[in-house]
Amino acid sequence: MTKLTVGNKHQEMKDNVLKGGHEKYHGKNKEQGKLFVRERLELLFDEGLQAEDGTFANVLAGDLPSDGVVTGIGKIHGRTVCVMANDSTVKAGSWGKLTVEKIIRIQETAEKLNVPLLYLVDSSGARITDQLEMFPGRRGAGRIFYNQVKLSGRIPQICLLFGPSAAGGAYIPAFCDVVVMVEGNASMYLGSPRMAEMVIGEKVDLETMGGAIMHCSVSGCGDVLAKTEEEAIAYARQYISYFPDNFKNKPNVEEPKLPKTFEKSIEEIIPANQNAPFNMYDLIDRIIDEGSFCEVKKLFAPEIITGFGRINGQSVGIIANQPRVKGGVLFHDSADKAAKFINLCDAFHIPLIFLADVPGFMIGTNVEKMGIIRHGAKMIYAMSEATVPKITVIVRKAYGAGLYAMAGPAFEPDVCIALTGAQIAVMGPEAAINAVYANKIASLPKEVQAAFINQKREEYQEEIDVYRLASELIIDDVIEPNELRKTLEIRLDAYKSKELTFTERKHGVSPV
Encode pLDDT of 35-65 as tens digits: 999 999 999 999 999 999 999 998 888 889 9
> What pLDDT, in 10s, does the model give residues 420-456?
989 999 988 778 787 888 888 888 888 887 888 888 8
Average pLDDT over residues 205-223: 95
pLDDT on residue 86: 97
Mean residue pLDDT across the chain:
94
Could you give the 3-state DSSP secondary structure of residue 166? strand
Distance CA 308, CA 156 (A): 14
* 438 or 370, greater pLDDT: 370
Helices (H), 386-481: 401-405, 429-443, 446-463, 466-471
Helical packing angle, 332-347 and 372-385, nearest 10°: 20
Give 123's strand partners: 165
Distance CA 490, CA 43 (A): 38
Q: Residue 165 is which amino acid?
A: S
| Phi, psi (rounded to 5 degrees) for 491 | -65, -45
Run of H or E residues at 72: strand 69-76
Cβ atoms of 314 and 352 closer than 8 Å = no
* pLDDT confidence band for 1 (50 / 70 / 90): very low
Distance CA 324, CA 318 (A): 17
> What pLDDT, in 10s, does the model give residues 470-503?
999 999 999 999 999 999 999 999 999 999 999 9
Distance CA 215, CA 176 (A): 15
> What pLDDT, in 10s, does the model give residues 139-164?
999 999 999 999 999 999 999 999 99
> Nearest to residue 335, comparing CAs of 311, 366, 290, 370?
370
Cβ atoms of 221 and 188 closer than 8 Å = yes
pLDDT at 390 exceeding the cut of 90: yes
> Nearest to residue 347, comparing CAs of 314, 387, 309?
387
pLDDT on residue 432: 79
> Nearest to residue 462, comparing CAs of 440, 432, 442, 439?
432
